[in-house]
Structure 1
Amino acid sequence: MRNRALLTFMLGHFTVDMYGGLLPVLYPLMALEFSLTKEAVGLVALAFTATSSIVQPIFGYLADRFGSRVLAPASVAWAALMVAVAGLAPTLGFLMLAASLAGLGSGAYHPLGAASASAVTGDLQKNTAMSIYTVGGSVGYALGPLLGALAFGAIGPAGSVFMLPIGLVSALLIARSLRGLPARVAGRGGSVADASHGRERIAWRGLLPVVGVTMLRSWVTLSLITFIPLWYADLGYSASFYGPLTTLVIGAGALGTLLGGLLADRFGQRRVLMLSLVGALPALLLFVGVPGPIALLTGALYGMLADSSLSITLVMAQRALPGRTGMASGFILGLGFVTGGIGVPLVGRLADQVGMPMALSSLSVLLVLAVALALLIPRDASQRAAVPQAAGARGDD
């Protein structure tokens, strides 16, 4: 935590994911205003996640090639502006456009921030460092629903405008901090360790199952987070309950992410990944099967277990694509987001037909598939030659 550069990129991650967490709380209000089905709400969520996903590999390439000095703060400010506009949308089409453009800013920042966070840390502490970076996004995503419940509960959808200053201030702080970083970090992504690897051959045998696990886990978690507010609104609960509940699920995920990174550096990535996925399965079934106040406990348990492997799969992807840290980050995060985005309207359509509890319970099948894919990850894929930490890689500057 003494690494101020890492904390800078963590701040950006916190901000853009806060906006991503705020949007699901906006959806029930817009659903009432435009008389939307749950499938239509899923399509609005897809507008955000699909755009965010598609652009991530592109901005990952730009991070590797040109760095993040200008793009990182600009992407945060753009996401803030578009989320503010979304709450003022006069039509469904305008709402989808605003959500899509907000996704552009969020998608741009993720590979820029991940590549830069990797650049300021040594290879032997990658899991811990990336968990710290990732937890910034998780905390932001957790606070988003709570802030949304406060803003929207007070003045309705237009409360999104009051979220704009947070993003603008964050963008200014990031821009100021980046000016003080060495050119090797602010100018280009990639750590000292990455540079020593060069552009080695891609380890597809280890990468593909990692990508598959990421996609399935994202589908489950994003569907759950998107539909918790709608489900509990249907059950008669107010935003004062389902807003904090959504925040708790995501916040527990932030704690799980941090613990997962620490445990992976100590006991191994593959072992922690398997325990995370296997434990998340019964937690999901308990959360869906027993709604009500007990969900504050079971939801937190699911979030902590499911998200404890977030930074692990990201580091696995970065090591499978040596010398391409930005591309790896954009690739793994982008595919995860797009799968979750496509899956949300499918779950919404199923919920319209068979009910929300049955639709959310069906997500357990995806976790079983994720466990099967995790078994295919080669044991050496999570232990690619660690490069001794080079001088300056700590990023204490």
Structure 2
Amino acid sequence: MKTLDSTISNSSTEIAQKTVYPILFAVAIAHLFNDLLQAVIPAAYPILKENYNLSFAQIGLITLSYQLAASILQPLVGLYTDKNPKPFSQMFGMLFSLAGIISLAYANSFGLVIMAVVLIGIGSSIFHPESSRISFLASGGKRGLAQSIFQLGGNAGTAIGPLLVAFIVVPRSQHHIVWFAIIALLALFVLYRIAFWYQNHLNLRAKTKANIVLPDLTKKQVTFAIITLMILIFSKFFYTASISSYFTFYLMDKFQLSIQDAQFHLFWFLAACAVGTLIGGPLGDKFGRKYVIWFSVLGAAPFTLLLPFADLFWTGVLSVVIGMIISSAFPAILVYAQELLPKKLGMVSGLFYGFAFGMGGLGSALLGSLADKTSIIYVYQICAYLPLIGIVALFLPNLKKK
């Protein structure tokens, strides 16, 4: 006969290994709110540029400051929470973002703008590692799907942000950014509910022995694979930095669009990224993450090479195709990395999110400086070659479990 302890243990194991869709979607909604607040920063660049007479290099410095704050802390946060899970830490991070949004609305100098975006960056650095871990734990083994749902929320927030800025802030003034504080308050409510599930889930897992599946690879092979994935992250996020930070300026300069019209084009690119993200994870589950990664980064190259020479209509079409293809890589990359180091989920998530943000920030700063010295159109001609780096995905090992 089964003992009571055995029955409880089996029940706990079953619950802990079940795909929990309400939590996956709740984390995705929280990610939507978090990344929507982040998206306010680049969407407000045309307003900030006009208000403070900023150069492209200074705009790049704003992005670099935010991205460094969002990137440097993430691996450290993840490493700490691997050993000391903190279910309510995401709420603490959202309070930083709330303070940053309010500060950005009332900033009256370039220095205060930098301070405001750093606060938002710190909030993001606390949010992402634990949220990614929760998605992993709630996946029930459907890791690619879970990561895609999580990323879909983030990409949707990134897409909606510029649209809301175009409607709420652009026709009025910088002070109207304060309305986005409502988004932060909604996020705090969602994160509060998630935190209780996370706490209960940790208690359930404590009653069972977790079965961690390790890849059948040597330490050198794992290290090589991590480095290869980081090269791919560099290629992807350096290119997407050119879109998220400067696409509106590119369209305004080349096609003489208004700020609002340019923001609509940026929205369609970001919406395509959301669709691509949703597709990438499940395809990785079904066909193998290596092949999705290879296609996602390298497959965008023909379209990025055409983009600088297209008219307005085809620029819109190509940007949607590029967004859909290139964005499908990140869920596959992140889950692949988590499967390489399954005992360090927080650290791996923080490392890759942090590196992605860091490359985006560095790319924005360098491309802004290049745009000042040459032209914004020349920047897109150079960036068109970045997805060709995706060829290195061919060297990723096939993961076999042991």
TM-score (norm 2): 0.88
State whether structure 2 residue 325 is matched by structure 1 residue 305. Answer: yes
Indicate the residue corresponding to 1:113 in structure 2: 131
Partners of 1:291 and 1:158 lie apart in 2 by: 35
Instruction: After TM superposition, give the deviation of residue 73 of structure 1 in Å.
Output: 1.7
Amino acid aligned to 1:385: K
Indicate the residue corresponding to 2:247 in structure 1: 228
Amino acid aligned to 1:363: C
> What secondary structure does 1:362 align onto?
helix
Indicate the residue corresponding to 2:6 in structure 1: none
State whether structure 2 residue 189 is matched by structure 1 residue 172. Answer: yes
Whether the 8 Å CA contact 1:131–1:260 is kept in 2: the answer is yes
Amino acid aligned to 1:374: A
Partners of 1:330 and 1:242 lie apart in 2 by: 32
Q: How many residue pairs end up in the alignment? A: 379
Would the alpha carbon gap of residues 385 and 366 (structure 1) be closer, same or farther in structure 2, given more than 3 Å must change?
A: same
State whether structure 2 residue 288 is matched by structure 1 residue 268. Answer: yes
Instruction: After TM superposition, give the deviation of residue 162 of structure 1 in Å.
Output: 0.5
Correspondence 1:246-395 to 2 at 5 A: 246-369=266-389, 371-378=390-397, 380=398, 383-385=399-401
Would the alpha carbon gap of residues 196 and 250 (structure 1) be closer, same or farther in structure 2, given more than 3 Å must change?
A: same
Whether the 8 Å CA contact 2:265–2:316 is kept in 1: the answer is yes
State whether structure 2 residue 46 is matched by structure 1 residue 28. Answer: yes
Indicate the residue corresponding to 2:165 in structure 1: 148
Amino acid aligned to 1:156: S
Instruction: After TM superposition, give the deviation of residue 291 of structure 1 in Å.
Output: 4.5
Indicate the residue corresponding to 1:75 in structure 2: 93
Amino acid aligned to 1:208: I
Amino acid aligned to 1:219: F
> Which of 226, 245, 257 is the equivalent residue of 1:207?
226
* Residue-by-residue CA offset, 1:205-264 (whole Å, 9 max, x unaligned): 221101211122111112221101222233431222111211111110111111111211
Would the alpha carbon gap of residues 257 and 88 (structure 1) be closer, same or farther in structure 2, given more than 3 Å must change?
A: same
* Residue-by-residue CA offset, 1:45-80 (whole Å, 9 max, x unaligned): 111111100011011123322324221122123213
Whether the 8 Å CA contact 1:111–1:330 is kept in 2: the answer is yes
Partners of 1:79 and 1:86 lie apart in 2 by: 10
State whether structure 2 residue 177 is matched by structure 1 residue 160. Answer: yes
Partners of 1:306 and 1:154 lie apart in 2 by: 32
Would the alpha carbon gap of residues 192 and 141 (structure 1) be closer, same or farther in structure 2, given more than 3 Å must change?
A: farther
Indicate the residue corresponding to 1:137 in structure 2: 154
Partners of 1:135 and 1:24 lie apart in 2 by: 19
RMSD across aligned positions (CA): 2.3
Partners of 1:301 and 1:220 lie apart in 2 by: 14
Whether the 8 Å CA contact 1:63–1:115 is kept in 2: the answer is no
Q: Rg bigger for which structure? A: 2
TM-score (norm 1): 0.89
> Which of 21, 37, 44 is the equivalent residue of 2:55?
37
Instruction: After TM superposition, give the deviation of residue 181 of structure 1 in Å.
Output: 4.1
Which stretch shifts more, 226-235 or 269-278?
226-235
